[in-house]
Structure 1
């Protein structure tokens, strides 16, 4: 079977309605061939429905879905060259690892020997050589996940879909498996659409991220763009932690704003804003702690927790309570300690008005 190569995925003004409920509301985006794009957002935002529309498991109410430039909007899942790895893995418990991986080609009518050869190649690829005769119940969660990936890869689909693939794994394994998925995607040049609600996972694996909120796209961009230049307070708060604080822009000149954060003065990219009240997002790691007599904001420690490689602090200031992360094995600060907070060169950003 000749491999078609990775394909693009394009949504043009796509909506999905269930009676009076709009699950996806007029969204447009493109996933370029060979890229991993994550659909990220809280429960009920429309990300899984979007993935299922790529798969053909849901048929869009309006708009067009294109795969490799071909309109597949009305095609069933069986007629699309895509494979999906489900959250539950959906392995057949009565079949061996090899039988699970060879299932797709057999259903397509390929001879058993050829189907098994294809399955063996993909099992080796995901590090399961020697596990062919085992059953799913004899595997760890991470190994079951790999069988599901091998089974999805065996037909060499143009697009591979992942629906919350790591949610059944513990934290340490989650990191390892997400690295494996990313490595596989890059080495095989696969087009991947990946759904998660875990923002750290999204930042770690994605070429681009589409953040969804209330059935719409809130923002899309590279992980760095979303973290450093959030389009609105929802994205700032959803991608990583952010302190949202009221600020005053005193003047704007050549795209740079003079901003008062309480009594502290900073210069920030204006992002289209003009003089007057505004909001800024301040990342916890961008607040630098020093003596109370130093420049910036003065604050009082309300909470201080030791987390191994960093301290988490809540500090009361004139602009409200701020969450601060201090790296390194510093000593705990007692409740009521007076500190000074200054601002790092990055991680402080004005939020454009929604």
Structure 2
């Protein structure tokens, strides 16, 4: 079967178990003198897909493993479906995990891999295989049940891992960097399939990745972690358009971090001066004086028709044609800018003088406290 077949099939049905919420209350995890997770609190509502996002070493995988019971919290409380599971083992929590490596048994067939969990829990061979066949149909792998993992593509192996996690119909499904072993095009398709499956079955999913685009694409909410703590929690749009600090602004997508000055306040709005530009933005708690702005690459407008009154003069330094978009590096009095244009066929040539302005309806925000 084609590895690009949708995870969902016409046989999809609602899960027999109800999804459960996940709650961390002031959870800390220490390894000796090293604090891997530091006083973290959050709630994943039942039926939501929430992504733990951050750079390597930020604590996101340790947090996921504490939900699973593969790591025990040093302090704090962990609740699943309102039940305190802080001190319960992994076997006593109704969760399943899809690992980065997929962790399939190489000597077992696809069917045996997926039926393994129910068999260990005491189901008869016939019942375990029936449950496994149902989930293999759900993820589009009917007909491949007799193959061993080495005979499958990376995308198919990933689907076997998902089927094996789903077969026990857990209250919570956990994904640890599930797409990192796939090529870019397949990664994009499979993340869409995972999201479709989660929504169709109303699953509670905690999903770990370091890939910002992946997190923005699949999540109801994102928890951004930095240095063992939560930097910001919000919807993908909130994090992209209203970053809480410099770290989030720089980590979630690309951002030009620029200096500005608040020269006036009127209600919730601030009048901000950036070189020759004057722009009105939500003040986000900033007072008069210097501020930092996060300006997304597609919110910077460049015009080669000549200097315009009230705009900033610049010069195109580098050009990259990427098919659906053109990327520029532009020198200017406010710094070197990274600019993206969509829908333009002919790029502006390197060396061209341009005028610079901002599209204020998107992608420009004051960074609080910066």
Q: TM-score, normalised by structure 2?
A: 0.94
The counterpart of 1:297, out of the listed 312, 337, 352, is 312
The offset of 1:311, in angstroms, is 1.0
- Counterpart check, 1:86 vs 2:99: yes
The counterpart of 2:234, out of the listed 221, 225, 231, is 221
The counterpart of 1:325, out of the listed 340, 344, 347, is 340
The counterpart of 1:46, out of the listed 59, 67, 71, is 59
Structure 2 counterpart of 1:313: 328
**What do the CA deviations read for 1:43-83 (whole angstroms, capped 9, x no partner)?**
00000000000000000001000000000000000000000
Question: 5 Å matches for 1:1-354?
Answer: 3-290=16-303, 291-295=305-309, 296-344=311-359, 345-353=361-369
Q: CA RMSD in A?
A: 1.0
Instruction: Give the whole-Å Cα distance in 1 for the aligned partners of 2:336 and 2:23.
Output: 43
Instruction: Give the whole-Å Cα distance in 1 for the aligned partners of 2:169 and 2:177.
Output: 21
Q: Secondary structure at the match of 2:336?
A: strand
**What do the CA deviations read for 1:21-43 (whole angstroms, capped 9, x no partner)?**
00000000000001000000000
Q: Secondary structure at the match of 2:165?
A: helix
Instruction: Give the whole-Å Cα distance in 2 for the aligned partners of 1:305 and 1:110.
Output: 58
Instruction: Give the whole-Å Cα distance in 2 for the aligned partners of 1:353 and 1:91.
Output: 47
The offset of 1:292, in angstroms, is 2.9
Instruction: Give the whole-Å Cα distance in 2 for the aligned partners of 1:73 and 1:199.
Output: 30
Structure 1 counterpart of 2:9: none
Structure 1: runs of 5+ lacking an equivalent: none
Q: Secondary structure at the match of 2:147?
A: coil
Instruction: Give the whole-Å Cα distance in 1 for the aligned partners of 2:173 and 2:128.
Output: 19
| Stretches (4+) displaced over 3 A | none
Q: Is the 8 A contact 1:292 1:340 kept in 2?
A: yes
Structure 1 counterpart of 2:7: none
Instruction: Give the whole-Å Cα distance in 1 for the aligned partners of 2:121 and 2:281.
Output: 58
The offset of 1:4, in angstroms, is 3.1
Q: Is the 8 A contact 1:292 1:299 kept in 2?
A: no
**What do the CA deviations read for 1:282-340 (whole angstroms, capped 9, x no partner)?**
00000111133224211111111111111110111111111000112432333321001
Instruction: Give the whole-Å Cα distance in 2 for the aligned partners of 1:346 and 1:10.
Output: 33
Q: Is the 8 A contact 1:308 1:329 kept in 2?
A: no
Instruction: Give the whole-Å Cα distance in 1 for the aligned partners of 2:68 and 2:276.
Output: 53
Q: Secondary structure at the match of 2:72?
A: coil
Q: Secondary structure at the match of 1:145?
A: helix
Structure 1 counterpart of 2:10: none
How many residues are treated as equivalent by the alignment? 353
**What do the CA deviations read for 1:246-303 (whole angstroms, capped 9, x no partner)?**
1000011101000001111101110011100010000000011113322421111111
Q: Secondary structure at the match of 2:150?
A: helix
Q: Is the 8 A contact 1:15 1:24 kept in 2?
A: yes
Structure 2: runs of 5+ lacking an equivalent: 1-14
